[in-house]
Structure 1
Amino acid sequence: MTFIAHIRQKDGKIQTVQDHLVEVKQGAEQAGEKIGVKYLAGIAGLLHDMGKNTDLFRNYIQEAVANPDAPPRKGSVDHSTAGGKLLHSLYHGSGTTLESKYTAEWIANCIISHHQGLRDYVSPDKASPYMERVISRELDQYEQAKVEFLKHNPPDQLDHMFEQATQELQQYIQIINKNKLPRIAGALLIKYIFSCLIDADRTNTRRFEENETSTEEIDYKLFFQQSYELLSQHLSELEHGSIVDTPINQLRREMSRQCEQFAYRPSGVYTLSIPTGGGKTLASMRYALRHAIEHNKQRIIYIVPYTTIIEQNAAEIRSILKNDDMILEHHSNVVDDKDDERHEGDEGETLDLRKKNLKLARDHWDRPIIFTTMVQFLNTFYAKGTRNVRRLHQLSNAVIVFDEVQSVPVHCISLFNAALNFLNVIGRSSLLLCTATQPALDFVKYKLHFSEQPEIIENLDEVGRSFKRVDLQDLTRDSPSGWDAEEVSSFIQEQMREVDSVLVILNTKTAVRKLFEQLIEVEWLRESGVQLVHLSTNMCAAHRKEVLSGEYGVIPRLAKGERIICVSTQLIEAGVNISFDCVVRSLAGLDSIAQAAGRCNRHGKDKVRNVYIIRSSDEVLTNLPEIQIGAEKTERVLQEFKDDPSSLGDDLLSSKAMSRYFEYYFNDIGDKMHYPIPKLEQNLFDLMDRNRYYVDAYKKKHDCKPEVVNHYAIATAEKYFEAISTNATPVIVPYGEEGKELILDLNGEIEPGEMSELLRKAQQYTVNIYDQELRALERNGDVYPLLHGHALALREPAYSDDFGVESKGEGAWEPMMI
């Protein structure tokens, strides 16, 4: 009798359960072997779909394929529990060792959860959802599934694999203890094993569905070697450029050289504190490529705070390496995530074929060079469901560059540090933290474990003085209640009498739009022929790219010496290679002000230019507490600088001033760094660490210890995790002919192979829209569904060349990081 794992949609061909289990085992082992968890991951793969070895499931899948428009109820046949139940019964009973119980719980949780997300071992309701699943749940035809599985996979073979898996776990417990990592490292290792299983399962299913017999393996080392040679050639060309001998360029070359030499050091956690405008992108890529070649890394991943930086940096690297297919940009998730949320009864196969095509098409970071955002990085470790965690194993044995690392969301700092410690100690990756304003991540409670002498750049203070190109002018005391749009407009007019370009950065989209509309109406601007530009994340990535660097964009116009005023949110203040004669920055954190200052006199054309700090009365910061706290601490530093400049190195942008600011800021933030969950009166870090509160509550209720040896509340932590609280929905917008054509393409029936490429392209034409703004657009009939309701598109009248999405509303902080 043949038991069925999948039936191919095109031709009705069957993939047997045993074939699928063996192939997924092999894929999971390959991913796990990178860090030494081959058997932990392999057993999860071998047992994950054991429950499909039943008459019930065979009837279920045949009925679903015969009736695609009305498939059986999702989850009506539970096939994911059986493998975990068998494993737990074999290796968690009385007389088994503590290590055996740990191993069984780790693997079994991955198996029973592969259609939802990992279960809690101990939950807030003083129970163990894990034990309820592997012990209490009655499964129809479980014995049939068990007999069929053991017929193909003898018990002695399984015993041998489990013994090897237990040794792998013991080794990592020793490593975790030796490196004094908190227990959350164990939870992240479970997630890594889960990632190996999910990716192997989804990949094998896609290959069967697309009848893909084999895939060409990427020769990472060859690609990195070729890329290194191309980068070296590019740097050599720059050295022979017309302005090669300026002091700034000489210093850039020296810092780039130091990055190359540093790359020969062992993998670790390092810092690169190149000042703004110091050539950080190419210097860090030089380090990454050399380190990847020397230490056999499989991937180089750039983690950046804003999509704007992805667009610019990826374009720069692509132009040098000349291999688009090997470089992936991952911004936001274009399709709706709701199918990845856990629902009771979701233990079965998803047999709505349209939904399955969407799931199979999603990116899983399978390129040698990846550019993505801090939010996507944090989601990979902590977000709910299976979609994000699938990518986690791709972060191992990699060089990971964190650009503008000071932009880590404050409530995620402890979780961020835990993820980086995991990747370095367990994931065998080398981590490089880049910023001109390094936060003190090793002075917080759950600190980041930097390597010995982690800074790449020598003589940092001297380098900082050499790069000084601006003076900060504090105008916040001129108007304690702040300037409105009209007053800011008048100040800009004064500056434009002396300079050719001004950049104004405000904290909210509403304030930016109000100032832009004020400037449009003023007579002096219309008569002077000054170009006025607006930038915010209401504009899609392709739109912003055109405004900044297109044929008639801001950057080429500035290069020609044209007169320009640019009004923007903070998306422009980090990673955008652009230079204005004057910058006006609304009061915020000193690190943000320093980044804004990096857009002024960037290339040292003039000896020194002014950056003005103002207070805007048009900003409502009620929903932006981190910006509000940052502004307060900046005010404190500004006052101290006024009283005694020498105590802060006679420069508001000095490392002393920045350290003082972060000291005040982190002291004020306190426990907020551990991701507090007000509804539970707990913090997310502890749920993933010791879970003390709920373990104690369990003991009191049951008058005994939990039956499980692991205590992590992983599902609860995932339920409450959001890197940034956006309440936003991705909407594909009709920007330009390509955006309109893309929407038309997505409105029809699409093969999975085509879907992947279309969804990647759609990232450039997506805007994240807040709930209240989305409701307003829906009332006006300006949004409509694509992909059978799994994505949304915007109608043309609701998208403008000036502002992008035409929807007003203060909302919360805009999701630039997605």
Structure 2
Amino acid sequence: MESYLAHIQRDPSDKIIAVQSVSKHCHNTARYAAAALEPVGLSAAGEAVGLLHDLGKYSEQFQDYIKDGAGTRGSVNHTFAGVRLLLERYHHEPPEDLADIAAELLALAVGGHHGGLFDCVDDQQKNGFRHRLTKKEIGYEEARDNFFRFCINQEELDQQFQAALNELTPVLEHICAMTGEEVSDERYDQETAFYSGLLARLLLSAVIEGDRRDTAISMNGAAFPPARSGEELEQMWFTLLTRTEEKLNAFSSKTPIDQARRMISNQCGQAAEQAGGVFRLSVPTGGGKTLSGLRFALAHARKYRKQRIIFTSPLLSILDQNAKEIRKYIQDDSLILEHHSNLVRTEENSEQLDERELLTETWEAPVIITTLVQLLNILFSGKTTCIRRFHSLCNSVIVIDEVQTVPSKMLSMFSLAVNFLAEICGVTVVLCSATQPCTEQIEHPIHGPIRDIVPYDPALWQVFQRTDIQSVGSMSLEQIADFAVKKLEHVDSLLIVCNKKNQSEHLYSLLKDKSFALFSLSAAMCVTHRRDTLNKLKSALGQSSQKTVCVSTQVIEAGVDISFGCVIRLSAGMDSVVQAAGRCNRSGEAGPGVLAPVYLVECQQENLSHLPDIQLGKDATQELIAEFAARPEQFQHRLDSDASIEYYYRALYRREPAGHHDYCVKDRPSLFSLLSLNGQYAQEHPYYFNQAFRLAGTLFEVFEENTTDVVVPYKESEALIAGLCSEKAQRDPFYLRSLLEAAKPYTVSLYQYQIDRLNEEHSLIPLQGGALGLSGHYSAETGFSMGESNLEFLWR
């Protein structure tokens, strides 16, 4: 009987209560990794990586460590051995053929299953493969021999490698053909290397999934739902589609807008019959994009037996609105996972599985509702919790709402990732926006042609023209407040959208105590607070006896089904301006043919030095306004026409510095460079892969500011914070998970300087599960504020 152990579970008294052999764990991991990659035809590759990932545990050094139980996590290296076996047995220096590339791919996944993909060449020009081949005192020969004795013999391993190579060969050949012959050799090599890196990430995702899943099942008794067969998937999607279409068909078709929305929805249902790839869903604001996108996704998933549908939104306010709509039509919460705030923090370099990682979502639900940030983290973050979910994207439909909000700094990486998902992973990608970016203008574009789900129809679009965007020059905040009061004489409701929270706070204070209902909305308010405020705001808008004003940041701009009689937007990019206009006269309340005013104001003395993307967008908008004033007929006399939006994006891309879309990093090569050829660091290294994966993963963040989610004192969260401080939460992981899930709608994201200051004031409470709670500093009107404090919160 094998005596080499992969895991040992102990009770609080340090008594051993469960063990698992290395052989059992490797075979189980191989089976789960193979299943994870089966949708893309790489199950043999997944099985190979799973078998080899813990080869290093077959050493006496590791066995002494794990049986002692007193060692420091990660103090015994066990990930290098599998890498070394693959490279010694199947690799030539330099690479000679696809078998060598396949060996490197498998080695990257084996060597990265705990800490993420390692640097093939780091910023000190150290070669990660060579380092793993030459590392001393890791018990390699002993571990290798025991692996062949207890887990799989040499002949079987050779057969497994050949099966993996047979699967990987057509994928690698496809990657080499993806760029096209018309581009320069350098760009071809860059993109080919980038795609190959994503393939390595996909393999790593599968082995992390298999490793964590087997550990959770074997050592913690976790239960995972069984995978659905193709027939079961088709039947499930058919049921959901039928349910959705029945509700959609019950909608009224009395008004022209109702009729136009129905026509758009029907076209989405018909377009779903087309084969997968990349689609564009461009409909005017108010055209029913969420439900039309849902109909397309369900119909397409049914026809092509997709594993899941993933809806992403750029802002929590949009996600909250969309999730509510989607749940109404799916009518089965057991099929839906809403994932948008991860309070569970894990140790990324732990030798043993961090139990808190078991509290994170694995994205196995058929319908995922999440944020754009989560999707981008899955694609590019170095955290194993993010990498783990990559395989869950395969054979899915991904609907990216408000795609124009993808940060421009990462457009190259995003576009190429979309190509990889569509062409290698069998993903159907739907890019949704009323202001589609001109992706063909960037150096590394999404492969075209991108198919329009709803072709442009001037007559259909005319129905949704309900506003007139007007530039009214420059004003101070005080003048903007006076301007708002004056405009309120002619309408019953007014929305002011600001670029910065301090602007909205100041305008709120200037407008307070007037003879109208006043509301504030911003990301400084937790989701529950924003939801409550929106409900109160909608109720106020429905009362004709009182005028209503809302001062907001960009959180209200998209996905929020609300309508005002007039909008004032502080100058920003035209994509934001058009979204703000979508909150005006949304259902034609002003009357047939009446265009409600949307005033575009340049705020005097506005400092956007810490928001360079907003400043670039604002400058491009000002250029458009100047051109529009000179030749309005060129833009169909509308600032929001297709011609205007195209001019805006071209102006924006001209203003952005060279290489901006490649994710530039101060004093470093761009992340795109690090994830492709890595030319600055990699010089004549004898391997195909030269990427600095770990460095790039560490540097990647969707937004540059370092933010932390904090549970705020709002309504029921007081009891949740108390629960998260309790001994029961420390002892009971299931109780802890329920509290963390319940706390998600009561969190706000704070910058590091805010966290530091709050720590100095002792206003942050450490909670179980790695979370933080806020004591005071929260206003019932405007949300989090450094100036608001109520230290009695937890102790009254």
Equivalent residue for 2:47? 42
By how many angstroms is 1:755 displaced?
Answer: 4.0
Contact 2:344 2:357 in 1 (8 A): no
Equivalent residue for 2:421? 423
- Kindly indicate whether residue 226 of structure 2 is the aligned counterpart of residue 234 of structure 1: no
Match of 2:768 among 787, 809, 813: 787
- Kindly indicate whether residue 564 of structure 2 is the aligned counterpart of residue 580 of structure 1: yes
State the alpha-carbon separation in 1 of the partners of residues 363 and 541 from structure 2. 36
State the alpha-carbon separation in 2 of the partners of residues 787 and 322 from structure 1. 33
By how many angstroms is 1:468 displaced?
Answer: 0.5
Equivalent residue for 2:367? 369
State the alpha-carbon separation in 1 of the partners of residues 176 and 599 from structure 2. 50
Match of 1:537 among 523, 529, 534: 523
By how many angstroms is 1:739 displaced?
Answer: 5.4
Alignment of 1:694-705 (within 5 A): 694-695=681-682, 698=683, 705=684
Equivalent residue for 1:200? 210
- Kindly indicate whether residue 399 of structure 2 is the aligned counterpart of residue 401 of structure 1: yes
- Kindly indicate whether residue 89 of structure 2 is the aligned counterpart of residue 103 of structure 1: no
Equivalent residue for 2:666? 678
Equivalent residue for 2:793? none
Equivalent residue for 2:334? 325
Equivalent residue for 1:813? none
By how many angstroms is 1:803 displaced?
Answer: 2.0
Moved more, 424-433 or 324-333: 324-333
Which amino acid is the alignment partner of residue 81 of structure 2? A
Equivalent residue for 1:57? 62
Equivalent residue for 1:455? 452
Q: Secondary structure at the match of 1:729?
A: strand
- Kindly indicate whether residue 156 of structure 2 is the aligned counterpart of residue 157 of structure 1: yes
State the alpha-carbon separation in 1 of the partners of residues 575 and 272 from structure 2. 27
- Kindly indicate whether residue 384 of structure 2 is the aligned counterpart of residue 386 of structure 1: yes
By how many angstroms is 1:58 displaced?
Answer: 2.7
State the alpha-carbon separation in 1 of the partners of residues 510 and 772 from structure 2. 32
State the alpha-carbon separation in 2 of the partners of residues 379 and 295 from structure 1. 27
Residues 199 and 560 (structure 1), Cα distance of their counterparts in 2 relative to 1, 3 Å cut: farther
Equivalent residue for 1:651? 638
Match of 2:465 among 451, 464, 468: 468
Contact 2:95 2:687 in 1 (8 A): no
Residues 433 and 259 (structure 1), Cα distance of their counterparts in 2 relative to 1, 3 Å cut: same
Deviations 1:445-498 (A, max 9, x none): 10111346x11223333333221100112112xx3xx312x3222112112211
Equivalent residue for 1:125? 124
State the alpha-carbon separation in 1 of the partners of residues 18 and 220 from structure 2. 11
Equivalent residue for 2:484? 492
State the alpha-carbon separation in 2 of the partners of residues 252 and 9 from structure 1. 60
Alignment of 1:477-516 (within 5 A): 479=474, 482-484=475-477, 486-516=478-508
- Kindly indicate whether residue 274 of structure 2 is the aligned counterpart of residue 265 of structure 1: yes
State the alpha-carbon separation in 1 of the partners of residues 215 and 269 from structure 2. 42
Contact 2:399 2:429 in 1 (8 A): yes
Q: Secondary structure at the match of 1:546?
A: helix
State the alpha-carbon separation in 2 of the partners of residues 423 and 99 from structure 1. 22
Q: Secondary structure at the match of 1:105?
A: helix
Aligned length: 761
State the alpha-carbon separation in 2 of the partners of residues 16 and 613 from structure 1. 67
By how many angstroms is 1:166 displaced?
Answer: 1.4
Aligned-residue sequence identity (percent) comes to: 33
Match of 2:708 among 716, 724, 729: 729
- Kindly indicate whether residue 562 of structure 2 is the aligned counterpart of residue 559 of structure 1: no
By how many angstroms is 1:781 displaced?
Answer: 1.4
Which amino acid is the alignment partner of residue 534 of structure 2? L
Residues 617 and 389 (structure 1), Cα distance of their counterparts in 2 relative to 1, 3 Å cut: same
Q: Secondary structure at the match of 1:400?
A: strand
Contact 2:723 2:739 in 1 (8 A): no
State the alpha-carbon separation in 2 of the partners of residues 555 and 750 from structure 1. 43
Equivalent residue for 2:744? 763
Residues 676 and 128 (structure 1), Cα distance of their counterparts in 2 relative to 1, 3 Å cut: same
Deviations 1:123-181 (A, max 9, x none): 22122123202x11123433332222111301111101101111222211211122227
Q: Secondary structure at the match of 1:601?
A: coil
Equivalent residue for 2:9? 8
State the alpha-carbon separation in 1 of the partners of residues 213 and 782 from structure 2. 40
Deviations 1:571-599 (A, max 9, x none): 11011111111111000001110000000
Equivalent residue for 1:772? 753
Which amino acid is the alignment partner of residue 556 of structure 1? S
By how many angstroms is 1:96 displaced?
Answer: 8.1
Equivalent residue for 2:185? none
Deviations 1:380-437 (A, max 9, x none): 1111221111111111101111111111101010011011000000010111111110
Residues 752 and 158 (structure 1), Cα distance of their counterparts in 2 relative to 1, 3 Å cut: farther
Contact 1:507 1:619 in 2 (8 A): no
By how many angstroms is 1:743 displaced?
Answer: 4.8
Contact 1:106 1:190 in 2 (8 A): yes
Contact 2:312 2:375 in 1 (8 A): yes
- Kindly indicate whether residue 294 of structure 2 is the aligned counterpart of residue 279 of structure 1: no
Contact 1:473 1:610 in 2 (8 A): yes
Residues 766 and 171 (structure 1), Cα distance of their counterparts in 2 relative to 1, 3 Å cut: same
By how many angstroms is 1:756 displaced?
Answer: 3.9
Contact 2:195 2:416 in 1 (8 A): yes
State the alpha-carbon separation in 2 of the partners of residues 371 and 571 from structure 1. 18
Which amino acid is the alignment partner of residue 434 of structure 1? C
State the alpha-carbon separation in 2 of the partners of residues 765 and 509 from structure 1. 19
By how many angstroms is 1:750 displaced?
Answer: 4.5
By how many angstroms is 1:273 displaced?
Answer: 0.7
Contact 2:317 2:556 in 1 (8 A): yes
By how many angstroms is 1:638 displaced?
Answer: 0.8
Equivalent residue for 2:791? none
State the alpha-carbon separation in 1 of the partners of residues 634 and 722 from structure 2. 57
Contact 1:504 1:584 in 2 (8 A): yes
Which amino acid is the alignment partner of residue 141 of structure 2? E
Please report the TM-score for the alignment, with normalisation by the length of structure 1.
0.90
State the alpha-carbon separation in 1 of the partners of residues 42 and 8 from structure 2. 31
Equivalent residue for 1:145? 143
By how many angstroms is 1:108 displaced?
Answer: 1.1
- Kindly indicate whether residue 314 of structure 2 is the aligned counterpart of residue 305 of structure 1: yes
State the alpha-carbon separation in 2 of the partners of residues 148 and 663 from structure 1. 61
Equivalent residue for 2:187? none
Q: Secondary structure at the match of 2:385?
A: coil
Contact 2:345 2:357 in 1 (8 A): no
State the alpha-carbon separation in 2 of the partners of residues 752 and 733 from structure 1. 22
Which amino acid is the alignment partner of residue 91 of structure 2? H
State the alpha-carbon separation in 1 of the partners of residues 172 and 648 from structure 2. 38
Unaligned runs of 5+ in 1: 65-70, 351-355, 699-704, 810-818
State the alpha-carbon separation in 2 of the partners of residues 214 and 775 from structure 1. 40
Match of 2:265 among 249, 256, 272: 256
Contact 2:94 2:687 in 1 (8 A): no
Deviations 1:53-109 (A, max 9, x none): 233323322332xxxxxx421221112222222222211247985222211111112
Which amino acid is the alignment partner of residue 603 of structure 1? S
Contact 1:334 1:766 in 2 (8 A): no
Q: Secondary structure at the match of 2:239?
A: helix
Equivalent residue for 1:349? 352
Equivalent residue for 1:621? 608
By how many angstroms is 1:746 displaced?
Answer: 5.7
Unaligned runs of 5+ in 2: 181-190, 789-796
Q: Secondary structure at the match of 1:610?
A: strand
By how many angstroms is 1:17 displaced?
Answer: 1.2
